[in-house]
Amino acid sequence: MKYNKISEKSEKYIFTVIITFSIIILLVLFILNYIINLYFDPKICFFIYSLVLLDIIITMILVLVLPRIIYKNFGYCIDDSKIESISGVIFLNRKIVLFKNVYKIIIRKKIIGRIFGISSLALVTSAGEVKVYFLDEKGLESLYNKIIYKIEGEACEKK
């Protein structure tokens, strides 16, 4: 089966999310460092500086590696009766849902995702959710329309 790839914008989105979280961590560490300098022993600041260095190193590694891995490993495949989603960074998860079992479709757009035009689609069944991540606006609309067409087609066949 040939999987449809996620949006090319997803690499920039993931990069931005990693940098944002890293900046938040750095701000917390610098505030903590300031408080320690004011009220406690300044020798403890060495520990904070090593945490800052560790945060910078981890962020650089994640920025260089994670977006490519996610773009390579995430995707989806749709056929006449089912949709298959593959995702994961270290361990790959492959989930399959039959259209006849879907009773709700959820579209999720997060704050940074709205800036980049990235969203995810979740198909809800009685057994849980199957998510398709990192879709751009055009891909989301296309996938949504295909799913609705397949679900309505099966509903008409039952009658």
Same domain, 80 and 53: no
**Domain closes at, from 19, 49, 71:** 71
Same domain, 66 and 82: no
If phi > 0 it is left, if psi is from -120 to 50 it is alpha, else beta; for residue 134 that is left
Mean pLDDT by 10 residues, the chain (159 residues): 81 90 90 80 76 89 89 89 90 90 90 90 89 89 88 64
Amino acid 12 reads K
Amino acid 4: pLDDT? 82
Token pair 């040939």 is found at: 2
What CATH number has the domain bearing residue 100?
Answer: 2.30.29
Residue 79: give the domain boundaries: 75-158
Amino acid 1: pLDDT? 67
Same domain, 146 and 90: yes
CA distance 50 to 64: 21
Same domain, 96 and 53: no
